[in-house]
Amino acid sequence: MTGFETRAIHAGQEPDPLTGAVVPPIYQVSTYAQDGVGGLRGGYEYSRSGNPTRTALETCLAALDAPSSTTAAALAFASGLAAEDTLIRTTCAPGSHIVIPNDAYGGTYRLVARVAGPWGVEHTPASVLDPQAIAAAIIPGRTRLVWIETPTNPLLNVADIAAIAEVAHVAGALLVVDSTFASPYLQQPLELGADVVVHSTTKYLGGHSDVIGGALVVTDPQLAERLRFHQNAMGAVPGPVDCWLVLRGIKTLGVRMDRHCANARAVAAMLVDHPAVSAVLYPGLPEHPGHAAAQRQMRDFGGMVSFRLKAGEQAALEVCRRTEVFTLGESLGGVESLIEHPGRMTHASAAGSPLEVPADLVRLSVGIESIDDLIADLTKALD
C-alpha cells in the first residue's frame, strides 16, 4: 500500500476474519478468556495492555507517519497530553533536561514546567526557527529531549526538522516533533530524522471534534518497547470507542486536509488585505519566516491561521465575540471552523512566563465549510 489515502483507509483494517465486517469492530471488552493459564487466543489478555480496536488504530498510525520504516510503531493514548507525559516518564529521569519551543502549546508547557519540573526535570525554551539557539539551549549530558512543534501553536512558526534532528543527535538527545498542526498527511517528521512524533489525535486525525486522544510514533524498536511498557504501566490508554472514532476520522484525513488548506489559504489572503489586521501568521505567505522550510517539508501549509489586531486586545476579544460561522471555542482540526483568543484561552497557562502570547492575537482553525461563508463571517466580525 503505497498511497497515503489507501493506507489511511486500509492499514490495520483488514475485513474482520470472523464476520467480514469491513470496519474494525469496537471491542468493548476489558478481559479475554484464556485456554488454560497463559493460553491467549488472539494475543490479548487485558485491555489496558492491548485491545484489537486500539491495535487497528496503532497499526494505521504507524503506516501513516513512517511509511518507509519496517520497524515503525505507534502507541495510542487517552489524550495528547497523556502521550506526552508517558514519553517524558519513559525518556527522562530527575536531573534530565528538555529543550522546548519558546512558543509551545500551553498545555505542553504546563506539563513540562509544572509536572515534570517538580519531578526534577528542567527545561529551557528556545525558538524553533533557529537550530543554533536550540544547540545553545542543550545541556551536554543532561538534555534527553529536544522537543519541537511544527507548525507551532499558536504562532505558526515552522521548524526545519532535518536541521534540528542533526543538532539533537550530535548532543545525544532525541528529537521529538509535535506534528499535531500538520497531521501525517502534510508532514512525516520521522522520515526527516525525528525520533518521536507526538499527535493530539483530538485534532485533525479525529477531525470531527468528538473525541480526545493522543499518539506517539517511533521507528526505534527498543524505544517502542520501553514506551509500550510505560503505556501499560502508567495506563493512560484510550477506550475502544475513542480508538474507533479516530480510525473513522483518519479515513477521510486526506480529503479533509486538502479542503482545510485551501480554505485557510483564502482566509489568510483576505486577512492580509484587511485594514484592521496588523499581522497574519500563516506559513503559506512568502514573507512568513518559516515559509521556505514549510515548502520543503510539508505537502501544504495547513488549516491554521493566526492574526493580530492593530487596535489591541479588546479588538481581538471583540472579533472572537462577533463571528457566527466560526464558533468561539478551544481546540482545532475539526470540520467546523473555530476562533479563539490564545492569551485568555488555550495559552492562559503560559501567562507571565517566557511563553506568554501576544494579547492582540486571534487563532483560527479554518474548517471545511463553504469558503464564501467563512470569508463573509470574518469580514463582518472585523468591520
Ligand X SMILES: Cc1ncc(COP(=O)(O)O)c(C=O)c1O
Shortest reach from residue 108's CB to ligand X, in Å: 6
- Please list the residues that pair with 306 across neighbouring strands: 281, 363
Phi and psi, residue 349, nearest 5°: -70, -10
Burial of 336 (0-12, 13-18, 19+ CB in 10 A): middle
Which of these, 178, 232, 234, 229, lies nearest to 201 by C-alpha position? 178
Residue from 200, 323, 337, 365 in contact with ligand X (CB under 6 A): 200
Distance of alpha carbon 100 from alpha carbon 73, whole angstroms: 24
Q: Does residue number 107 form part of the binding site for ligand X (CB under 6 A)?
A: yes
CA 156 to mean position of chain CA atoms: 13
Q: Which residue is nearest to ligand X (CB)?
A: 80
Residues in the chain: 383
Q: How many other C-beta atoms lie within 10 A of the C-beta of residue 125?
A: 20
Concerning whether 203 is annotated as a catalytic residue, the answer is yes
Q: Kindly state whether residue 151 participates in binding ligand X, applying the rule CB under 6 A.
A: no
- Give the separation between CA 122 and CA 19, rounded to whole angstroms: 52
Q: Is 102 in the site for ligand X (CB under 6 A)?
A: no
Site for ligand X contains 125 (CB under 6 A): no
* Candidates 61-69, 91-99, 101-109, 349-357; binding stretch for ligand X (CB under 6 A): 101-109
Our finding on whether 207 is near ligand X (CB under 6 A) is no
Q: Quick check: 212 binds ligand X (CB under 6 A)?
A: yes
CA 79 vs CA 184, 202, 245: distances in Å: 17, 7, 13
Is 178 tagged catalytic? Answer: yes
Segment contacting ligand X (CB under 6 A): 14-22, 24-32, 175-183, 363-371? 175-183
157 contacts ligand X (rule: CB under 6 A): no
Task: Find the binder of ligand X among 27, 44, 105, 147 (CB under 6 A).
Answer: 105
d(CA 116, CA 89): 8
Q: Is 310 one of the catalytic residues?
A: no
Footprint of ligand X on 354-383 (CB under 6 A): none
Residue 178 touching ligand X (CB under 6 A): yes
Q: How far is the CB of 210 from ligand X (least distance, A)?
A: 13
- Per the listing, cell 482545510 goes with 260
Among candidate residues 103, 130, 178, 195, the one labeled active-site is 178
Query: Exposed, middle or buried, 17 (CB in 10 Å: 0-12/13-18/19+)?
Result: exposed
- Of 303, 317, 296, 281, nearest to 371 by C-alpha is 303
Choose one: 18-26, 41-49, 177-185, 254-262; the region binding ligand X (CB under 6 A).
177-185
Residue 105 bears catalytic tag:
yes
**Catalytic-labelled residue, pool 32, 48, 251, 322:** 48
Cα–Cα dist 209/214, whole Å: 14
Is residue 81 within the footprint of ligand X (CB under 6 A)? yes
| Rounded Cα–Cα distance for residues 13 and 19 (Å) | 13
Contact status: 242 vs ligand X (CB under 6 A): no
Sole binder of ligand X in the list 149, 195, 300, 360 (CB under 6 A): 149
Distance of CA 215 to the CA centre of its chain: 9
Which residue's entry shows cell 504507524?
62
The yes or no reply on residue 202 touching ligand X (CB under 6 A) is yes
Q: Which of 90, 96, 180, 365 binds ligand X (CB under 6 A)?
A: 180
Q: By CB under 6 A, which span of 4-12, 60-68, 76-84, 132-140 interacts with ligand X?
A: 76-84
* Contact set with ligand X (CB under 6 A): 79-81, 105, 107-108, 149, 153, 178, 180-181, 200, 202, 212, 214
- Which residues does the annotation mark as catalytic? 48, 105, 178, 203
